[in-house]
Amino acid sequence: MKLHATELPFGKKQTLRNTPKIVLLVILTLILLTLISFHYPLLGYPSVLVKNSSSSSGHTAEDLVGARAGKKCDIYSGEWVPNPDAPYYTNTTCWAIHDHQNCMKYGRPDSEFMKWRWKPDDCELPIFNPAQFLELVRGKSMAFVGDSVGRNQMQSLICLLSRVEYPVDVSYTPEEKFKRWQYTNYNFTIATFWTPYLVKAEEADSNGPTLTGLFNIYLDEFDKDWTTQIEEFDYVIISAGHWFFRPSMFYENGQLVGCHFCQKKNVTDLTMYYGYRKAFRTAFKAINSLEKFKGITFLRTFAPSHFENGIWNEGGNCVRRRPFMSNETHLEGVDLELYMTQVEEFRAAERKGRERGLKYRLLDTTQAMLLRPDGHPSSFGHWPHENVTLYNDCVHWCLPGPIDTWNDFLLEMLKTEGGKSFDRRLHSSDGKMKIR
Ligand SMILES: *[C@@H]1O[C@H](CO)[C@@H](O)[C@H](O)[C@H]1NC(C)=O
Ligand SMILES: *[C@@H]1O[C@H](CO)[C@@H](O)[C@H](O)[C@H]1NC(C)=O
Ligand SMILES: *[C@@H]1O[C@H](CO)[C@@H](O)[C@H](O)[C@H]1NC(C)=O
Ligand SMILES: *[C@@H]1O[C@H](CO)[C@@H](O)[C@H](O)[C@H]1NC(C)=O
Ligand SMILES: *[C@@H]1O[C@H](CO)[C@@H](O)[C@H](O)[C@H]1NC(C)=O
Ligand SMILES: *[C@@H]1O[C@H](CO)[C@@H](O)[C@H](O)[C@H]1NC(C)=O
């Protein structure tokens, strides 16, 4: 499914004659167009999706991050360009790389995939500066709420920061799903909260119709594992996606309302999009209902997988060795639908949050990652004889690798949030610039 404004129905020129029938048709068309743009508020989407359409709005002012004062630039619209200086850490300098994303360990033969940087069309995106990042987040806390792709980003962040400092483990539970790290010199805390569906969920059948498990998802119930923990956090980075592909039963008000691919005769298949939308709605509702929460919520948008020649459990793989250029592919189908769904729920939550002064920001990684079929572990996430669920992993990202750029984006956004207080901190009392 493509969704360019030019391709919306009724977009074609019509020969208008002054007859009542035509007038009625025009009115109906206008009403329909209004409904369509209400349901798919194109103008609210990042400009990359509408960049070749006749409408020019794209991002709202708040989403645009200028590399230079007074100049607005959409950092999420651009190309990957060669960067011979990368990578900035390796699997020997950084211990935080999850085994399944340690692609070099498992014999990935090429290293080209590490040597690219993201170049926004209209400005530069600086390479991650660990000292600057830590200075910005001094005394603050950051939570990664989501699944293993969220954890993937957190581990990239730990590795990027490792040139300055390693954190100490201050987890409150031995469970790997809930880790907490402290940067003692900066009093900066990061934490991960495992919640692949963002809402309350449980595995109902470890096999299910596709042998990948069948999950009960309680679409209107908070997942208290994270919602009771994040009130104190200054930054919450929320994301979800790939788990919604699995078969699941949807519950609302405690009642079974339908499912996704459960293949049960008496249960309506409401599609994964239904569950995805409701899960985000409930997650954002949880955030907006936290009385003491004053943090900034980032939606890290869906990062497409790159299975080719089959789906993930039917032999699909990702063997490309170069990024795409933006004219070689575009967001479509399931990826586009998931992206639009989450951004719509994000916009709605942002409006509600604004009433009580909460900030929402898009960490809009979708387009950049769509262009990186070469950045996944593929078969180099484990030894060849190991039996793992994702035999060819085209979902997660090798470290070091393109996911490091998410933290370039994050730093760039934090810089604009920092504003005046950041400038003051930069110029410390001894009059010297602490960081460049
Ligand atoms: C917009 O871009 C897509 C792919 O990038 C292309 O298929 C389509 O023809 C373009 N539309 C216009 C109006 O240029
Ligand atoms: C790091 O990668 C190399 C290959 O580049 C591999 O031989 C080594 O075992 C890996 N080390 C760790 C600690 O993962
Ligand atoms: C560290 O930061 C927390 C907030 O995250 C604050 O409550 C605490 O007082 C800080 N500690 C020190 C020693 O600055
Ligand atoms: C669907 O049918 C099964 C038996 O085939 C039954 O156990 C289950 O309760 C039914 N579910 C609903 C929602 O009616
Ligand atoms: C994409 O653009 C580049 C130059 O910017 C050009 O060399 C290449 O042929 C284009 N590819 C396609 C598929 O249009
Ligand atoms: C791997 O797991 C699948 C399903 O769990 C099983 O059918 C297969 O025999 C296993 N292969 C090996 C080499 O253990």
The pLDDT of 82-98, averaged and rounded, is: 96
Task: Say yes or no to pLDDT of 67 above 60.
Answer: no
CA of 173 to the centre of ligand 2 (A): 29
Is 374 a known active-site residue?
Answer: no
> b/e map of 132-151 (b: 16 or more CB within 10 Å)?
bbbbbbeebbbbbbbbbbbb
- Residue 14 tokens read as 């019509």
Answer yes or no: are the C-beta atoms of 377 and 318 closer than 8 Å: no
For residue 48, the model assigns a pLDDT of 41
Ligand 5 pocket, Cβ-based, cut-off 6 angstroms: 325, 327-328
256 touches ligand 4 (CB under 6 Å): yes
Ligand 2 atom 10: the closest Cα is on which residue? 105
Report the distance separating Cα 207 and Cα 131, nearest Å. 47
Task: Say yes or no to pLDDT of 3 above 50.
Answer: no
- The one catalytic residue among 59, 396, 404, 408: 396
Give the model confidence (pLDDT) of 19-43 as tens digits: 444 444 444 444 444 443 333 333 3
- Residue 267 CA: which ligand 4 atom is closest? 13
Model confidence band, residue 88 (pLDDT cutoffs 50, 70, 90): very high
The residues that bridge with 199 in the sheet, in sequence order, are 222
Answer yes or no: are the C-beta atoms of 34 and 44 closer than 8 Å: no
Ligand 5 atom 6: the closest Cα is on which residue? 327
Answer yes or no: are the C-beta atoms of 117 and 80 closer than 8 Å: yes
Is 379 a known active-site residue?
Answer: no
Phi and psi angles of residue 431, each rounded to the nearest 5 degrees, phi first: 80, -5
| Matching residue, tokens 């930054």 | 235
Determine the residue of 187, 231, 233 to mutate for testing ligand 3's pocket, defined as the one with the most ligand atoms within 8 A of the Cβ atom.
187
Report the distance separating Cα 132 and Cα 155, nearest Å. 18
| Matching residue, tokens 């042998």 | 211
The pLDDT of 106-133, averaged and rounded, is: 97
309 touches ligand 1 (CB under 6 Å): no
The pLDDT of 260-268, averaged and rounded, is: 94
Give the model confidence (pLDDT) of 44-59 as tens digits: 344 444 333 333 333 3
| Matching residue, tokens 């996704």 | 260
CA of 287 to the centre of ligand 3 (A): 22
Is 393 a known active-site residue?
Answer: yes
Percent of the chain with pLDDT over 90: 73
- The one catalytic residue among 47, 77, 148, 156: 148
Cα torsion angle, 368, 370, 375, 381, sign:
positive
DSSP string, 139-157: T-EEEEEESHHHHHHHHHH
For residue 418, the model assigns a pLDDT of 65
Give the model confidence (pLDDT) of 198-223 as tens digits: 999 999 888 888 777 899 999 999 99
Virtual torsion, Cα 164, 168, 172, 175, nearest 10 deg: 90
Report the distance separating Cα 49 and Cα 2, nearest Å. 10
Strands 116-120 and 78-82: antiparallel
- Provide the whole-model pTM: 0.80
